[in-house]
Structure 1
Amino acid sequence: MDWKPDFTSETPLYEQIKTFIIHKISLGEWAVGTKIPSQRALAEHFGVNRSTVVTAISDLIAEGLLEGNTKGGTRVINNSWNLLAASPPPDWSSYVQAGIHYPNLLAIQHINRAEFQEGMIRLGTGELSPDLLPTERMKQIFAESSANPFTLGYEEPKGNLYLRKQVAQYLQGNGIQTSPSNILIVSGALQALHLISVGLLQRGSSILLEKPSYLYSVHVFQSNSMKLVGLPMDEEGIQASQIGRYKKGYNASILYTIPTFHNPTGTLMTEERRQALMKACTDEGLPIIEDDAYRELWFDEPPPLPLKARDPHALVLYLGTLSKTLSPGLRLGWVVAPEPVIERLADIKMQNDYGSSSVSQWAASEWLGRGLYQEHLIGIREQLKMRRDAAVQFLHTYFAGLAKWTVPTGGFYIWVELTVDVPMQILFERAIKDGVLLNPGSIYNRHTGSYLRISYAYAKLHELEWGLKRVAILIRDLVGK
């Protein structure tokens, strides 16, 4: 809601609020069955006394537009045109509740909204700062002439052929030997996961993955009645020795892993563990989804080769993306898989969106084909390493005695474990009131409530320091230290 009452108007504030709510209802924005914000929340948003909101709500209840009770809150039960209609309007809330795709966790919904509040310091955001995005170079690329054909029409089902050739050549540098026919261009790695969930796996399947994992924060598999089964991690990555037992115990269909600069822990899977993981999955005949979104964000030395680079039995579905390194706004990534799998996923993708943006594909092919992407990565690594060092120093300064952490060797994240007993929901809410947005560990595993995912990629350095200092003060206030 971006409306505010006019305190200079002669119209009483409660009447202005009534008019606003009636307007929302009459337009159908607050449909019948909608639970409106609480009186306290409305009062805070409008900047008025709660009694003013109570008066407005009471009038609307008396007029038959709203209904309130102590347990269920206040809901819309009527609208202006329903008073004249021969039959009641649809109850859109029931439709919303009947949808088969699970809603986001409430904390995720709250974070998604708060991220765009002006002045909010985002300590957990998993994307590059606008300061690090190559905006000016992108403008130049579009202004310059190119031998690469440009189209505003649709691309072929697997994606632009020139781009797929460039991706295949780029992947050779990471030890992955593939061809354009084995590559599907997708609108980011998340779309790839959705295509896999509906195109390759049966309803009711079990998915093995690290615990914690980014995948818990989205419902791409759960919405298709699939179960996520977390395997324990250690400092070398997912514990490969457990795969056989978990695969049999849960009749698992596939394993999802982020072996390189894991989200949210930042863990880099060792070479030895990668070999053990591939052996365990080969022995069990268990396919792997390798999400390699953060591979290029190493600081001191390149990470071990991808799992896909050691895959003679075509066990691995490999996901790559430009969202973490070049531009989240391009919405562009790729899947590398056996050709029948690519054909299947391409068919489903065409049914969903008729292909990723042709403009984005052209831009991506320019970055890769002209060698600009590799040049860009050098600068991004330098900037992220500097930010990582600063974040670690801020943690040492402000979180001493409150938490412990491991310094990542790449990626975006520091997985901070609080060593004091803090009510995380209260910390989350108080931080937002102070203009600091956190990503609690429970988003990535409900049993990791004492963790925070701290990202050094997004906030400016002075914001990062101020935000961490403020959170540390809140923690000390909550625990009495």
Structure 2
Amino acid sequence: MPNIEWKPDKKSPMPLYRQISLYIKNKIENGEWPVGSKIPSQRMLANTFNVNRSTITTALDELAAEGLILGKSGRGTVVMNNTWSLLSSNLPPDWISYVNAGAHKPNQLFIQEINRSEFDPSIIRLGTGELSPELLPNEMMKEIFKKSAEKMKPLSYEEPKGLLFLRKEISRRLEKYGISVSPSSILIVSGALQALQLISVGLLRKGSTILLEEPSYLYSLHVFQSADMRLSGLPIDDEGIQINNIAYNKQQKNGALLYTIPSFHNPTGIVMSIQRRKQLLEICEKERLPIIEDDVYRDLWIDEQSPYPLKSMDKNGIVLYLGSMSKSLSPGLRIGWVVGPQPVIERLADIKMQTDYGSSSLSQWIAAEWFASGLYDEHLQYIRQQLKVRRKVTLSALNKYFSDIATWNIPKGGFYIWLKLNDKVYMHELFSKSLERGILINPGSIYEPQSSCSLRISYSYASLEDIEKGLYTISQVVREIINDGSIK
């Protein structure tokens, strides 16, 4: 669905339906919405423009009468070329066929709608996996900018692996977690997601299978699937990923590597036990199965630190370790890192240079100064305190509103609570009805394809008041769906 930032002017003497009709007509006639593209649903347009459905119906009827759009069974409403101005000119390229032919798969529809809705300030975001703006260190950041400006060289490109000053600081920091690595085995990336993209195109063959926990954050992406690879989920328990079938899956499903989030898992919040970490590393070493350890939540512990990373016990170089500042400091800084064998890092660095010629020099200098100044650890203490308060409020609200209709875990850190409804519901209905009431949720089916009873609840973004209000509203929607008999 096209992203819409424009809003009708309710103070204008021109009727709202006419404003909307002219807006869509202009989008079509200037080629922004090409022939064959799908028009957003009436419900979505009404929510976007904050008008009644009848207003949208009138606007679309006017466009249909002009031959600009047409409702098609099973496809919704699409842009057509039945107007005289279009018919009398050369036909434009069939951009929709180009869009559909692209190698990179589109996001899940849930994800696309979440990405659009997250920027509506009127919506309560109960699934967002980032720190609230009120928790971001704005004053500290100003101080860091001043310190960085004194050290910073002219902002030219950095070397392929990234700013040496930053890589040295990361190397020093990782020593605290038992990881001994030189700066030459560290690559700076634009967030951990870019690391996964580089790995997918730089290290793996088409047709490979990625083993992972189920549920998993990785299911919400199409990084590996777009590179003609498959995902194969393994069950988890309270200690983390179950290891019994790793060897079988590696051999029978052409497993190329295993992806895991052992510390404050996304979306369940589980922390892999030290014993399970040792067992996992042992079996992967035996099977010669590389591991991607995604450790972006490590610094966000609340009750106690999680065990040392898998990478700290890795003596054979089978673990690629991912870290990031996006979850703990600033999502907009876009700084992460990959740690691994030097030949692998050099391969990934070469691909990164072909992709973007290096992460932002400014961001790298700022990130390095956060570490070098000691302000990063000071900031983390504050964040942990705030997350503890937010978790308490969230758990209290869950006890009030969900105790008879769901169960949930109590995370020891990170952002997420994995909420399991007692009854299965149509996730699309729950998502849509919640959004209509101004609450944005992350359905469990994003992270577990067959799930129809789970939600990922985040306590990191919404205000304390909105957490309470949002959870109450979701509980009411769930009860309505169950009482209506609209369960799966």
After superposition, residues 104-253 of structure 1 pair within 5 angstroms as: 104-144=107-147, 148-253=151-256
Deviations 1:153-175 (A, max 9, x none): 11111000011001000000110
CA deviations over 1:147-200 (Å, ceiling 9, x no partner): 633432111110000110010000001100000100000000000000000000
In the TM superposition, residue 393 of structure 1 has moved relative to its aligned partner by 1.4
Provide the secondary structure at the position in 2 that maps to 1:286: coil
The equivalent residue for 1:310 is 313
1:439 maps to 2:442: yes
Instruction: For residue 56 of structure 1, report the CA deviation from its aligned partner.
Output: 4.4
- Percent identity, please: 57
Partner AA of 2:35 in structure 1 = V
Determine helix, strand or coil for the equivalent of 1:241. coil
> Which residue does 1:92 correspond to in 2?
95
SS at match of 1:181: helix
The within-5 A match list for 1:23-422 is 23-39=26-42, 41-42=44-45, 45-46=48-49, 53-78=56-81, 82-85=86-89, 87-144=90-147, 148-422=151-425
154-163 or 141-150, which deviates more: 141-150
C-alpha distance in 1 between matches for 2:474 and 2:352: 43
Distance change (3 Å), C-alpha of 1:54 and 1:128: closer
State the alpha-carbon separation in 2 of the partners of residues 44 and 82 from structure 1. 30
Question: Structure 2 CA distance, aligned partners of 1:376 and 1:214?
Answer: 26
Deviations 1:83-142 (A, max 9, x none): 453x31111111110111000000011111111112211111100111111111101221
Q: Cα 1:293–1:20, aligned 2, differ >3 Å: closer, same or farther?
A: same
Q: For residues 7 and 45 of structure 1, what CA distance do their matches in structure 2 show?
A: 14
The 1:423/1:296 distance shift into structure 2, 3 A limit, reads: same
Q: Give the TM-score, by structure 2 length.
A: 0.93
Relative to the length of structure 1, the TM-score reads 0.95
Which consecutive residues of structure 2, in runs of 5 or more, have no partner in the other structure?
none
Check the 8 A contact 2:127/2:440 in 1, yes or no: yes
In 1, the alpha carbon distance for the partners of 2:173 and 2:62 equals 65
Cα distance between partner residues in 2 of 1:270 and 1:251? 27
| Structure 1 residue 419, shift from structure 2 partner | 1.1
- From the superposition, tell whether residues 74 and 180 of structure 1 become closer, same or farther in structure 2 (CA, over 3 Å): same
| Greater mean deviation of Cα atoms: 339-348 or 369-378 | 369-378
Deviates further, 216-225 or 299-308: 299-308
Larger deviation, residues 248-257 vs 376-385 = 376-385
Are the structure 2 counterparts of residues 46 and 80 from structure 1 closer, same or farther at C-alpha, using a change threshold of 3 Å? farther
1:246 counterpart letter in structure 2:
N
1:151–1:358 CA contact under 8 A, matched in 2: no
Aligned-pair CA distance for 1:44: 5.5
Closer, same or farther: CA 160–42 of 1 in aligned 2, 3 Å: closer
Q: Which moved more, 1:121-130 or 1:137-146?
A: 137-146
Task: Confirm or deny: 8 A CA contact 2:124 2:462 kept in the other structure.
Answer: yes
Q: Give the stretch that moved more between structures: 209-218 or 293-302.
A: 293-302
SS at match of 1:344: helix
SS in 2 for 1:197: helix
Q: CA deviation at 1:347?
A: 0.5
- Whole-angstrom CA distance in 2 between matches of 1:40 and 1:470: 20
Structure 1 pair 358–11 and aligned structure 2 pair: CA distance change class (3 A): closer
Distance 1:447 1:38, change over 3 A: closer
User: Amino acid of the residue matched to residue 367 of structure 1?
Assistant: W
Equivalent pair of 1:150/1:362 in contact (CA under 8 Å): no
Maintained 8 Å contact 2:425/2:452: no
Shift of residue 444 of structure 1?
A: 0.1
Kindly state the Cα deviation for residue 80 of structure 1 after the two structures are TM-superposed: 7.6
* Unmatched runs of 5 consecutive residues or more in structure 1: none
- Tell me the CA shift for residue 427 of structure 1: 1.6
The alignment's C-alpha RMSD in Å is 2.0
Distance 1:373 1:10 in 2: 53
Q: Which residue pairs with 2:460 in the alignment?
A: 457
3-state SS in 2 of match to 1:354 = coil
Q: Is the 8 A contact 1:213 1:263 kept in 2?
A: yes
Shift of 1:53: 4.5
**C-alpha displacement of 1:396:** 1.0
| Displacement after TM superposition at 1:51 (Å) | 5.7
Contact 2:418 2:455 in 1 (8 A): yes
